[in-house]
Structure 1
Amino acid sequence: MRTSQSPTALSNPSSPSTLEDLRMPVKAKLAAAWTSFMFLYIYVDYLALYKPGFLDDLLAGIVYEFNTGPTFVAIALTLMAIPILMIVLSMTLPARVNRIANLVVATLYIPITVFNAASETWTYAYFYALSIGLETLLLVFILRSAWTWPRRTPQQA
């Protein structure tokens, strides 16, 4: 049996069954997406600690064939700090600079995200495919949101 909404709910915006759906500012969308990206990024690194042998390698000063010296730690911090900073920058930068920053940073993070799984074994293929897939979807969402940022017409200014 097919059900439909009552005509009053569709034609009357103040009807109790009509949900309010306000337009979210692009800045808020971008900040939310970078927050989600950052949590995924950090949680994937955290869950990697549970892989057999990972902690032994870490204690020996090796992560993915790289020595965990000052250079590695500085690069890792930089790679984590950028999405963290993009949260606040997405909310505070002027629209034009904000758009460019989001387009550039999200574009740069797509290959970085894919590279993070390049050295992984097939044992954890699902884990890395899922995490990289979700991170990439968020980056594509950021790119699309920044690319399609609404413009004001001269009458609106």
Structure 2
Amino acid sequence: MPVQATLAAAWTSFMFLYIYVDYFHLYKPGVIDDILAGVVFEFDISPTLLTIFLTSVAIPSLMILLSTTLPARVNRATNLVVATLYIPFSMYNAVGESWDWAFFYGLSIGLEVVLLAFILRSAWTWPRRTASPATLAASLDSEPLRTPQQA
């Protein structure tokens, strides 16, 4: 499977997990009350906060597209940088949480970090050079031509 498809699939998995962790967080007692009071994670709900939240979800979504369309060298670097930055960003979800919720946050953050580590490994081990179509054509030209009887 091409590295680009692998990266896009990993970012898709990460994005769904990331969104669902935030969604399931809403089931925690008191969270909806805080939202109705205009507070999220100790921050007042504002256009700036919502823009930051949108950006944090939009980046993995854009990485799906970028992983399939960017040239290899830029693609590799972009995946390495973004996945590296998202590891501490994902871990921030556990800040200030009680031990009652340790398993939920531990599991969710653990899964997110595993997916990000997979993205880092896939991007890091991406072959730096691939055969160009011209090279492949030249290697085919150097093989002797076979007739159907010789094959």
TM-score by length of 2: 0.85
CA RMSD, 1 decimal: 1.4
User: What is aligned with 1:27?
Assistant: 4
User: What is aligned with 2:109?
Assistant: 132
* Residue-by-residue CA offset, 1:35-56 (whole Å, 9 max, x unaligned): 0000000000000111111000
In structure 2, relative to structure 1, the CA distance for the partners of 1:154 and 1:42 (3 Å cut) is closer
Moved beyond 6 Å, runs of 4+: none
- Report matched runs for 1:35-114 at 5 Å: 35-114=12-91
What is the aligned counterpart of 2:98 among 116, 121, 124?
121
Q: Identity, % of aligned pairs? A: 69
Give yes or no for the alignment of 1:141 onto 2:138: no
Which stretches in structure 1 are left out of the alignment for 5+ residues?
1-23
Larger relative helix fraction: 2
Over alpha carbons, which structure has the higher Rg? 2
Which stretches in structure 2 are left out of the alignment for 5+ residues?
137-151
Shift of 1:154: 6.6
* Residue-by-residue CA offset, 1:2-46 (whole Å, 9 max, x unaligned): xxxxxxxxxxxxxxxxxxxxxx10000000000000000000000
In structure 2, relative to structure 1, the CA distance for the partners of 1:26 and 1:84 (3 Å cut) is same
User: What is aligned with 1:19?
Assistant: none
TM-score by length of 1: 0.82
In structure 2, relative to structure 1, the CA distance for the partners of 1:153 and 1:83 (3 Å cut) is closer
Aligned residue for 2:97, secondary structure, equals coil
